[in-house]
Structure 1
């Protein structure tokens, strides 16, 4: 009987420890920010190698800020960046645009793209795809719209023609 109770006690202890480790591992995962959450701070180089930090250099500069995760060779990214650029031009300095280029070859690929299209955007380089992952994105294009205080007011992955109408509507609500 004692042996039977010992086996039950050990089995119970093993189960408790297993569940504890499972829950601890889940709790250790960083929360992916969504609409209503603050942007996770990040620092990335621009096309000239200057470090740009979200909290110091981006947050608070505009009523609305687009952060677009893109690659220069992606046709959907090109369409979305062009559409967002039109929105940004309409509102002048009230709206900012930051393109986080995740191209593997970095500035060598992105700089000619930026120079060709002359978007009203600051291009940042993230060839390891670190920052988009912080927001739960695993593909491009992906877009965040952030308010002046650094709060995410809109978040989406992918692009469909017509998305620009929704983006323009969101920005209009922020700057009116």
Structure 2
């Protein structure tokens, strides 16, 4: 289960992480500025947040830079114009509480707050499996049959012909 926690956003406002579960499933991604694989993963996370937010899905990005490097986080995030919410965990307390060891560390959470999967690190192609997980969670969270199901688009830009809902391998 996703632990109860309060984190701060980049404007120093306290945010209850569980509030994000009210609309549907989440992907929580932990990262820091010097992590190049984190930045590559964030490109896909932004696309998924935009693509599946109409189904109640959200990406929450949690930066774990310490107080010495945190001053560069907000300018970086603003320059990228990410569509997802960015929070801060400067002492990595929540990061460790949910099993984080290395970054990027991605936590997949269903609409009931259950952690259903985690991913450590990032390699090209990992985003395809993550998108399949997102679509399965979105589909499972829907209360009624969806006449307009989400379509998985592979990294080359063409639509998948996989059966609906996709199975997770």
Residue correspondences, number: 137
Tell whether the 8 Å contact from 2:103 to 2:120 is kept in structure 1 after alignment.
Answer: yes
Taking the aligned partners of 2:34 and 2:61, their CA distance within structure 1 comes to: 14
Residue 168 of structure 1 corresponds to: 131
Which has the higher Rg, Structure 1 or Structure 2?
Answer: 1
RMSD: 1.4
Residue 108 of structure 2 corresponds to: 145
Give the C-alpha shift of residue 84 in structure 1. 1.4
Residue 89 of structure 2 corresponds to: 126
Residue 27 of structure 1 corresponds to: none
Residue 5 of structure 2 corresponds to: 42
Tell whether the 8 Å contact from 1:103 to 1:109 is kept in structure 2 after alignment.
Answer: no
More helix per residue: 1
Q: The residue matched to 1:87 in structure 2 has which SS? A: helix
Q: 2:36 aligns with which of 75, 83, 90?
A: 75
Give the C-alpha shift of residue 59 in structure 1. 2.1
Q: 2:16 aligns with which of 36, 42, 53?
A: 53
Q: TM-score, normalised by structure 2?
A: 0.76
- Which aligned runs of 4 or more in structure 1 are off by greater than 4 angstroms? none
Residue 58 of structure 2 corresponds to: 96
Q: Which runs of 5+ in 1 are unaligned?
A: 1-37
Taking the aligned partners of 2:53 and 2:95, their CA distance within structure 1 comes to: 26
Taking the aligned partners of 1:112 and 1:164, their CA distance within structure 2 comes to: 26
Residue 145 of structure 2 corresponds to: none
Q: TM-score, normalised by structure 1?
A: 0.73
Residue 46 of structure 2 corresponds to: 85
Q: Which runs of 5+ in 2 are unaligned?
A: 140-169
